[in-house]
Chain A
Amino acid sequence: MRIALFADVHANLQALEACRADAARRGRDREAFLGDLVGYGADAAAVVDLAMAAVQDGAVSVRGNHDDAIDGESGYLNEMARAGVAHARATLNETQRAHLKHLPLIVRSAEACFVHGSADAPERFRYLDGIDAAKRCAAAAEAPITFVGHVHEQRLYFATLGERMHLLTPTPGIAIPVPRHRRCVAVVGSVGQPRDRNPMAAYALYDATRRTLTFHRVSYDHRAAAQRIRAAGLPESIAYRVEHGI
């Protein structure tokens, strides 16, 4: 059983299509969307349609803070993010907006937990930005492995001895063993807006049978995605980020 994990798509249709195709080629059985389908990018409607269809086919999907801001509070977001939310509000239809509004904040089973920010207080969209945050998340997850987004970089936190956790910056393409008895929190990276100075789209593939997690980076036409953002009248800074992966 292989689960493809997509986070922070941010209305970047080209990047999502490239990642989904890559995951399909690698034999994924299921998909999971870890929040922030919309915001920043130019193709919110198309991305939400795609995610809605995937959910119909059994995909997991949780709500991110940008998804939440469509029908909620967006005042706390920075100018760039507010522009993206405003664009999404203007382009999404009622069905799409209702879909985002009713997405769960967290999905968990005995085997895995899916959440946008952190499993402790998912509604607060905390950033998983260090060992301490990872420990709080792992403790609240009630599952051996937790998949999160929100932080736009690929990271794997894993338990060592007792309460201790350690951080691995994963190398794309390497299957990392994640044994059941060793709690892990995986930040899967951003599909639509990577920020590690590499514009390639990021996602991860979890093999629940072999208990391995592989982080992937996928080439796609990020210049075309940036052009879509400019053509939609969104701020130049968003296009620049997508072009340069920053």
Chain B
Amino acid sequence: MASELSFAPPRTLALVPGVVIDGFRLVSSIGEGGTAFLFRVEAAERPDPGFPLLMKLPRIGNGQPAESLLAFEMEAMILPTVQGRHLPRYVASRDITATPYLAMEWIDGTLLEDIARAAPLADDRVAALGAALADALHALHRQDVIHHDIKPANVLLRADGSAVLLDLGFAHHAHLPDLLAEERRYAAGSAPYMSPEQLNGSREDPRGDLFALGAVLYELSTGALPFGTPPTLRAMENRLWAAVVPPRARAATIAPWLQEIILRCLEPDPAVRYQSAAHVAFDLRHPDQVPLTTRAHHLRPPGLVTQYRRWRRLKRALADRGRLQAKPHTMAAHAPVLLVAIDTSHPEDPRHAALQAATRQLVSLHHESRVLAVSVVAPAEIDAAHPLESSASGQQLSHRLRLADWLAPTALPPDRLSLHVIESEDPATALLDIAGANHVDLIVLGAPRPDEAALAWWRSTASTVTARARCSVHVVRVGEGQGD
């Protein structure tokens, strides 16, 4: 077999503005990386896709590492298969049998790398940026793709605050050939963010991206990298089992909840980390719902004995490769997010028992499932005679307590449960909004009663939610003779 380099013809085309490549005219150079040239281009002799364009031209020829061509091919293979606004749109590509290129959408935004220069950033800023990045990762993982090179230089923030993931050159697609399956590389810019299992050669575990996300959060909140910038892959491996300096040891102003999230992402054993990017996004958006463990309060790295135990545990975990072999979307399916709509304004409603039974059943299916318990209540009206009891916060508190009592029989641990009381005149829209914002996989709610159905089925909450939800909906009906 010939090496692929022999297929790549020497580049004879000068890459200067005005040159047309496969119907795209080069407009201006916008960067020259170690492995590729980047140009703004326009459609010259082909239909205009209707958005600005960027072209990536890999460096080829003598002296170029063969891995950079593999990375180019991987990106050209994976980009057309993924959808959504968290990635640039694919336009066209050509392989190395001619001048190879990859044309995609050019997106206006700010690189997270530029934002990170101002680190340390305030907790709420870190949380907002991290949640946007976690949203993007979740969208990618749901399409069975692992990014494997999450770092500030590969994340673009749009003006609306959402994140776009750049450079799928090192990504892994669960259903497509992985040209980098056996490559162990040391890339100076990427290694500080790589998880232990990734350094160990694992390509099939999406939780590696959550580790990298933790490293990015650490950098944004402290201004430092959790493991520094070791000069070699080997040095990086040796650093990883040494425990991280807790962010709060670097800056005492960092909130315990943020440290909890960061250190949970950075757990060396993927089984102890967050199990989905959606969960990280949720915690970053709901600091008050993050259950604090000892992680939150460390002010110095654990002692040597603890570190040694962690190292032993990690070595065993890495040896047990079977645990690391789930496809990304199955991983997400094992950690589904359930939204249970609970009408705490009518605690005597006969539907509660059926809804509780359904919730218990559903959460017992997956060890990692999480529940958002949501009660939508009418906005509080202040009663002048009893201002305290009838205040908005008083109403919030009483409904939160009812939610907690409602869920007590499920015995869900605090890190799998969150309580939300929302004031709204429009329960359906409120439920749909919270479901959409939190990557909910399944909404569980009660069906209208038979007497309600005849009158107002078309405008009941259940029918609106079922019709408009972007996830599955489980409508729980109390059968005849039940619930009386």
Which A residues form the contact surface with B (CB < 8 A)? 135, 138-139, 156, 158-164, 166, 168, 170-171, 174, 176-177, 179-183
Contact = CB atoms under 8 A, between A and B. Distances in A.
Among A138, A159, A161, A170, which residue has the most Cβ atoms of chain B within 10 A?
A161
A179 B95 contact: yes
A119 to B, nearest CB: 13
Interface in B175-218: 175-183
A159 B6 CA distance: 14
Contact of B181 (A138, A166, A176): A166
A209 to B, nearest CB: 14
A160 B1 contact: no
Contact of B175 (A158, A171, A182): A171
Given A177-B77, A183-B1, A160 B181 contact: yes
B177 A163 contact: no
B96 interface: yes
A76 to B, nearest CB: 32
B97 A181 contact: yes
Interface string B33-77: 000000000000000000000000000000000110010010001
Contacts of A182: 4, 73, 179
Given A159-B1, A161-B3, A161-B70, A166 B178 contact: yes
A138 B77 CA distance: 22
Contacts of B73: 179, 182
A161 B7 contact: no
Nearest to A181: B7
Among A135, A159, A164, A179, which residue has the most Cβ atoms of chain B within 10 A?
A179
A160 B70 CA distance: 8
B182 A160 contact: yes
Contacts, number: 60
The 10 closest A-B pairs by CB, nearest first: A181-B7, A171-B175, A174-B175, A158-B177, A162-B3, A166-B181, A179-B95, A160-B179, A168-B177, A177-B77
Contacts of B97: 179-181
Contacts of B182: 160-161, 164, 166
A156 B96 CA distance: 21
A139 B67 CA distance: 22
Nearest to A135: B1
B192 to A, nearest CB: 25
A139 B70 CA distance: 21
Among B1, B73, B180, which residue has the most Cβ atoms of chain A within 10 A?
B1
A161 B175 contact: no
Nearest to A182: B4
Given A160-B70, A166-B177, 14 more contacts: A159-B4, A160-B180, A160-B181, A160-B182, A161-B4, A161-B66, A161-B179, A161-B183, A162-B1, A166-B178, A168-B178, A171-B174, A174-B176, A180-B95
Interface size class of B (residues with CB under 8 A): 20 to 34
B176 A177 contact: yes
Contacts of B174: 171
A138 B1 CA distance: 8
A1 to B, nearest CB: 18
Nearest to A161: B66
Contacts of B4: 159, 161, 181-182
A192 B273 CA distance: 45
A164 B4 CA distance: 11
Nearest to B69: A161
Given A161-B70, A166-B178, A174-B175, A181 B96 contact: yes
25 contacts: A135-B1, A156-B177, A158-B179, A159-B4, A160-B183, A161-B3, A161-B4, A161-B70, A161-B183, A162-B1, A162-B3, A162-B66, A163-B1, A164-B182, A166-B181, A166-B182, A168-B177, A170-B175, A171-B174, A171-B175, A174-B175, A176-B176, A177-B77, A181-B4, A181-B96
A176 B177 contact: yes
Contacts of B183: 160-161
Nearest to B180: A160
Contacts of B178: 166, 168
A145 to B, nearest CB: 13
B1 A139 contact: yes
A174 B95 CA distance: 20
A176 B179 CA distance: 13
A19 B4 CA distance: 35
Interface string B147-189: 0000000000000000000000000001111111111000000
Nearest to B66: A161
A138 B2 CA distance: 11
Contacts of A180: 95, 97
Contacts of A176: 175-177
A162 B7 CA distance: 12
A78 B97 CA distance: 47
A156 to B, nearest CB: 7
A170 B4 CA distance: 23
Contacts of B181: 160, 166
Contacts of A174: 175-176
Among A156, A160, A162, A168, which residue has the most Cβ atoms of chain B within 10 A?
A160
Interface string B239-267: 00000000000000000000000000000
Nearest to B67: A161
Interface string B81-114: 0000000000000011100000000000000000
B76 to A, nearest CB: 9
Nearest to B77: A177
Contacts of B177: 156, 158, 166, 168, 176-177
Contacts of B67: 161
Nearest to B7: A181
A47 B241 CA distance: 61
B143 to A, nearest CB: 12
B178 to A, nearest CB: 7
